[in-house]
Amino acid sequence: MLEVELFGLRFENPLILASGVVDMTPELLRRAHREGAGGVVTKSIGKEPRKGYENPTIVELPYGLINAMGLPNPGWEAFLEEFGGEKFDFPVIVSIFGGTPEEFAFLAEKLSEVADAFELNLSCPHAKGYGMEIGQKDEMVYEVVKAVKDATDKPVIAKLTPNVADITKLGLAAEKAEADGVSAINTLKATAIDIYARKPILSNRVGGYSGPGIKPVALRAVYDLAKALDIPVIGIGGITTWQDAVEFLLAGASALQIGTGVALKGFSVFREISDGIKRYLEEEGFSSVRDIVGLALE
């Protein structure tokens, strides 16, 4: 009832652990799966190790989180060493980032043996020279996706930024470059100020806002992308309940990623949401989750 197939990969359910949340080791990825995730996305991996920004890197708000981690990661060689010999019985999507199409392609080539698919982080709003600065330009989205498609035979998913006037232009550029799918949205550019210190709280000043507060923005982006594209859309942004998940599915998302929801509610959020989706399908007379994808578009 909950099983979905995307890019030739089978997911037990449409819920996927998003990049950047409790995804640092193979065991954490396995735990996410044991707790109910149908698949996982790794932390974003680059060519060189990055320490990330100094603390404070996270601001907790009543309606979500602002983070400016700075893409901390061990670099591709250390990642390959840790994950290379591991076997997983669920799809593992490797997130990669770079400053040029060539860097993305290099990483895809080097990490193809450990990835069931790649998610291209084209949209980090707080790492200078990476992510959003590339991902805001549709011609750069096209170039990066094309370079990676030329470098690997694994499925390629472009993760899109909401920090643009029209996200569908980015999606269409990814589709033109033969991306297998897109994921939307990454975090919204945001800041928070300490009124007593009279300065921004985050060491980087600006971060990415995620959590329940961005759900309506993410839902609109998924709706627009699903109407415009022929390739699958993976919905991300503020999904913390089964009702949220059903909204995204109705808006055209073929699968869903959960990140801040795990940070706020723990791994149990996967089982809670999948059980809720299943009850909804049974009560509404649907035999499969696939039956409701995009119904709100009609």
Query: Which residues belong to the annotated binding site for substrate?
Result: 43, 67-71, 121, 186-187
Q: What does the DSSP 8-state code read for residue 42?
A: P
Q: Is 31 a catalytic residue?
A: no
CA distance 263 to 254: 23
- The beta-carbon contacts of 136-143 under 8 Å, at least 24 apart in sequence, are 136/161, 136/163, 136/164, 136/170, 138/169, 138/170, 138/172, 138/173, 139/173, 140/101, 141/170, 141/173, 141/174, 141/177, 142/173, 142/174, 142/176, 142/177, 143/101, 143/177
CA-CA distances (angstroms) from residue 147 to 19, 114, 129, 151? 22, 19, 18, 6
- As to burial, measured by CB atoms within 10 angstroms (0-12 exposed, 13-18 middle, 19+ buried), residue 279 is exposed
Nearest to 236 by CA among 60, 107, 95: 95
Catalytic residue chosen out of the listed positions 22, 111, 124, 289 = 124
Alpha carbons within 13 A on the beta-carbon side of 291: 12
CA distance 221 to 168: 8
Contact 123, 161 (CB under 8 A): yes
Catalytic residues, which ones? 124
